[in-house]
Amino acid sequence: MRVKGLGSAAGGGFPQWNCGCSNCSRLRAGVLKGRSRTQAQVAISPTGSDWILLNASPDLRQQITQDRDFAPNGNGRSTPIAVIVLTSADVDCVLGLLHLREFQPLRIYSTLSVRRVLTEENSLFKTLERSNPPIQWEVLRINERLPIRLPRANSDKEIFLCSAISLGGDFPDYVSDPLRRSLHQEEAVVGLEIIQNEKRLFYAPGLPGRGEDWKRCLSSSDLALVDGSFWTDDELNKVHGAGKAARAMGHMPLSGTGGLREQTKFAGRARRVLIHLNNTNPVLDEESAAHHAVRDSGWEVAYDGMEFNL
Ligand SMILES: [Zn+2]
């Protein structure tokens, strides 16, 4: 399985256009040892010829036009992107679907609740139905393994088995109360366990950290790309003087009691990589104590263009 990290930052990217925090300011000034980052986006492929996007980031157009692996093949309209799998209805996970509106037939996998949020209340996404055939929605059921076959798969070894793991998060604030009441809470935010040819990828760019299922998936995976949004729970408040706590936004912080570092001391065999890094996170500064602390505890820090072969 080929895995590409096309984008690695949380919503807003790094630097964020309207943010004057120490990280963003120092990056703009060229005095921070670290890289700029687009918003979190991962793509996977069994062979490198057809691709599955894990979510669709607000930076998707830039991310796929800069990488020749996603270029059309031939003179007409075509794409090696065949499938998109969504982990939530958060703007950061779905806005990029609108970049894919150019009359391209695609398949989108999501929980039924996420699909209802996008199709019943957000008429803008109807632009995806103009393709012929229209976008095809497929339902991801919690803890059920679903085979995903790409158009040019040659053998069963190239089929992805995809399971959605409920991570206990919430639906986005923009969902209306009447719709929210008719949705299933466990379908709001999922992690993806993807198996191909006995190799396992665990993808959880938003990890509230409730329950234990995510730990089982992380420790049994070969590669885990996991929520590294915030270093502390009160990070936004500390940096900006206001802002929700990390946990209140569905992101378990990296440090402190009950933080990701403490909860993943069991490790397992997985190569563990932090993704979805918020611009305020000190981990982005490669000379910071926080950066060294996450590296010392066995985590890598994702950057745009990071690639893996499983
Ligand atoms: Zn900032």
CA 59–ligand 1 middle distance (angstroms): 17
**What pTM does this model have?**
0.97
CA 282–ligand 1 middle distance (angstroms): 10
CA 243–ligand 1 middle distance (angstroms): 13
pLDDT in the model for residue 282: 98
CA 270–ligand 1 middle distance (angstroms): 30
CA 8–ligand 1 middle distance (angstroms): 15
What's the average pLDDT block by block, 10 residues per block, for the chain (310 residues)? 98 97 98 98 94 98 97 91 97 96 93 97 92 94 94 84 96 97 97 96 95 93 98 95 93 96 84 98 98 96 98
Helices (H) and strands (E) in the chain, counts: 9, 14
Q: Which amino acid is at 36?
A: S
pLDDT in the model for residue 219: 93
CA 14–ligand 1 middle distance (angstroms): 7
CA 254–ligand 1 middle distance (angstroms): 18
Between CA 22 and CA 14 the distance in angstroms is 12
Which alpha helices (H) appear in 14-152, and where do they start and end? 22-29, 60-65, 91-94, 112-120
**8 Å CB contact between 26 and 14:** no
CA 302–ligand 1 middle distance (angstroms): 18
pLDDT in the model for residue 75: 86
Locate the DSSP E strands across 118-189.
136-139, 146-148, 160-166
CA 263–ligand 1 middle distance (angstroms): 27
pLDDT in the model for residue 267: 67
CA 278–ligand 1 middle distance (angstroms): 8
CA 15–ligand 1 middle distance (angstroms): 6
